Amino acid sequence: MEFNVGHYGYQSVFDKFVSIETSEIISQLKKFVPDYSDGQFTAWKESIPMLKSSANQAILINHHGKRFHSILEYQIPMEFRRIDAVFLLGNHVLVIEFKGKASPLQSDLDQASAYGRDLRNYHAKCHDVPVKVVVIPTRSNNILDEQSNITICSPDRFDKWVAELSNQNNCVMDVNDFLDDEAYQPLPSLIKAARDLFVQSPLPRIKTASAATDPCIDSINKVILSASRLNRRKLILVTGVPGSGKTLVGLRIAHEKYLDDIAKERNGKPTRSPAVFLSGNGPLVEVLQYELKRTGGDGKAFVRDVKSYVNRYSNKPNLIPSEHVLIYDEAQRAWDAKRVGEKHKHPTTIFKSEPEHFIEFAERIPGWCTIIALIGSGQEIHIGEEGGVSQWSEAINHSSQKNNWDVHGPNSLSDLFEGINYLPDDNLTLDVSLRSHLSLRVHDFVGSLISNPISPENILNDIHKEVEKDGFAFRITRDLLEAKSYMQNRYADNPDARFGLIASSRDKILNQFGVMNDWQNTKNIRVGPWYSDSERQDNSKSCRLMKECVTEFSCQGLELDGAILCWGSDFILKNRKWDISLMRKYKNGSDIRDPWALRSNAYRVLLTRARDVTVIFLPPDNILDETYDYLINAGFKKI
């Protein structure tokens, strides 16, 4: 049997579904979910007979029932999330989630509700039909309840409930339309609302000092219009220091309404979403979607995770992206081919680097296309990101359509694109940090601070004095409570200020001093609420509470007003040289090209997260004494 490259594990009409052996269905599901767990296998064995029984009742009660459809392990378009089962009952779409418990938690109901919401908003066949959502607690009996438009139904009542719903339908939905690769189509009203929200709402944590990015935006718009007029392929490189507004540039372009007017029609219909903002930085995607959603919009209309995008289009070489403008945030961190293969693990796909994939995706788009690569400096902190900007040059050089590509970018990158039509434009460099309201001096200071060999303290002190004059503060303490008290006092009159604990993921001693930076404690932090919520909300997880700590992976690309950087043992001074020998080891150490660069970049990211002040907390451990003395001599002031 061929491996299923669709976005479901099993599908058939009810007539076949009720007669096929459960073991055969599970065999197909195993191939679709190759990393299934023992718990998943048990859940399939328990739930499939229930689904077959309810399908049989639908057949008995409705003469169309044999042609109703079952879809198991349905993967939502442009997502990695999978719905346990979807029934197409005539003009109803039924979303079914099983939970192996007697009573579902609120999180279970919210998860199922989100599945229904996303189908209504993003699936073309669900825009105009009822989408019902049911949660089945498999350990319950005699329950049929409704909570916030979610049905909670016990197994013993599920057959009758499905039969009653089936009896309301006198038609059959075309499963091919439902499973069509082009089914991902956001509601037109959703696109309009998202644009209106972005333009009209303050969104202070996203749209900081947007006027500073206007020259860059103007240059990008000219290139896009040129691409559409000349039917060309364009790669635009936008470079900038951390906090200079690169993400804002990408979001502003993604929400531009004029793109509708220059987009090519697909199958005689206008494309609904001519641009998409993509990022491999999961926490940044979560925060952007959360911020856009909490102010009344829908966070996914223009903002998506890059991994799901690559998964969608790399698995289907004939699928054409609906967009003309692909915006790739933090493009210098794009994965190389080896890392793409490790993370996607699809047995029928030949993986390329992410830049090669995006060049190939863009070449499928009819007429014209533009890739906007937003590039930061010194922020490669993950394995497989060390190839940097040169991967984009290699991707175009390897393309069979190389002569159809123009590259626009700052003069500083022209040497990397030898043999390619490179058009320099220094408006595409954002060299001022909006995050710290400063010139490049903060980044000069941080870069010099963590260089190996270390910089002389007197030179660092001189740079630090200039940074202080510009209004940014670096502070230091060996008492965590003192650091927390400082932040609470500093922002006592500013409830909108964002401040919290950040730390390196590779340190091994911070737990002993009240900083929970280990993987077990950080893996389930929801960065959207952590970053955005007030500490006064019920069950708040706000960063302002300074309880949960996020690492470089969760805070990269985000900005805080104040950061407490809990300095670990993974990057310390020993005999006047930075030392990483005490760090928590990498799982696949042989894949690391330069572990020192990854650690120094992690601390570069951590030291540049704040707009106003970074307070360094060094635990009172003597292995950190030399580091403490160095930072004091470099200009850090005790609080």
Q: Each residue of 150-166: pLDDT tens digit? A: 999 999 999 999 999 99
Q: Domain ranges for the chain, please list them.
A: 10-182, 188-430, 441-638
Strand partners, 233: 369, 405
For residues 590 and 432, which has the higher predicted lDDT (pLDDT)? 432
Q: What is the pLDDT of residue 382?
A: 42
- Residues 598-610: pLDDT tens digits? 899 999 999 998 8
Q: What is the pLDDT of residue 383?
A: 42
Cβ within 8 Å of residue 61, ≥6 positions away: 163, 166, 167
What average pLDDT does the segment 275-298 reach? 76
Q: What is the pLDDT of residue 342?
A: 62
Residue 334 reports pLDDT greater than 80: no
Strands 10-13 and 69-75 turn out to be: antiparallel
Cβ within 8 Å of residue 250, ≥6 positions away: 238, 277, 327, 329, 372, 374
Q: What is the pLDDT of residue 433?
A: 54
For 266, which DSSP code? B
Q: How many other CB atoms are there within 10 angstroms of residue 53's CB atom?
A: 14
What average pLDDT does the segment 55-76 reach? 94
**pLDDT range class, residue 3, cuts 50, 70, 90:** very low
**pLDDT range class, residue 590, cuts 50, 70, 90:** low
Secondary structure string (H, E, C) spanning 276-293: EEEECCHHHHHHHHHHHH
How distant is the alpha carbon of residue 168 from its chain centre?
40
Q: Which range is least confidently modeled, 23-27, 67-71, 238-242, 582-586?
A: 238-242
For residues 631 and 108, which has the higher predicted lDDT (pLDDT)? 631
Residue 298 reports pLDDT greater than 60: no
Q: Which CATH number fits domain 188-430: 3.40.50, 3.30.300, 3.30.70, 1.10.3210?
A: 3.40.50
**pLDDT mean across residues, the chain:** 86
Q: What is the pLDDT of residue 340?
A: 64
CA nearest to 361, candidates 316, 302, 313: 313
For 374, which DSSP code? E
What average pLDDT does the segment 537-561 reach? 89
What average pLDDT does the segment 299-312 reach? 84
What average pLDDT does the segment 357-385 reach? 79
For residues 188 and 87, which has the higher predicted lDDT (pLDDT)? 87
Residue 437 reports pLDDT greater than 50: no
E-only strand ranges, 20-167:
69-75, 82-89, 92-99, 131-137, 144-147, 150-153
Residue 398 reports pLDDT greater than 60: yes
CATH number for the region 441-638 comes to 3.40.50
What average pLDDT does the segment 371-380 reach? 75
What average pLDDT does the segment 288-308 reach? 74
Q: Which range is least confidently modeled, 94-103, 177-186, 196-205?
A: 196-205
What average pLDDT does the segment 547-575 reach? 92
DSSP string across 28-65: HHHHHSTT--HHHHHHHHHHHHHHHHHHHHHHHH-TTG
What average pLDDT does the segment 481-502 reach? 91
DSSP string across 444-481: HHHHHHT-SSPPPHHHHHHHHHHHHHTT-EEEEES-HH
Q: What is the pLDDT of residue 69?
A: 96
Strand partners, 326: 276, 371
How distant is the alpha carbon of residue 479 from its chain centre?
34
Q: What is the pLDDT of residue 384?
A: 41
With beta carbons less than 8 A apart as the criterion, state whether 533 and 566 touch: no
Residue 23 reports pLDDT greater than 70: yes
Same fold, 188-430 and 441-638: yes
Residue 495 reports pLDDT greater than 90: no
For residues 67 and 497, which has the higher predicted lDDT (pLDDT)? 67
Q: What is the pLDDT of residue 381?
A: 41
Q: What is the pLDDT of residue 488?
A: 93
What percent of the chain clears pLDDT 70, i.e. is strictly above it?
88
CA nearest to 401, candidates 451, 433, 362, 432: 362
Q: What is the pLDDT of residue 6?
A: 58
What average pLDDT does the segment 59-69 reach? 94
For 512, which DSSP code? G
Tokens of 603: 């601390």
**pLDDT range class, residue 348, cuts 50, 70, 90:** very low
Q: What is the pLDDT of residue 594?
A: 85
Strand partners, 502: 550, 565
Residue 232 reports pLDDT greater than 60: yes
What average pLDDT does the segment 423-452 reach? 78
**Phi and psi of 586, rounded to 5°?**
-75, 145
Q: What is the pLDDT of residue 432?
A: 62
DSSP SS3 for 611: strand
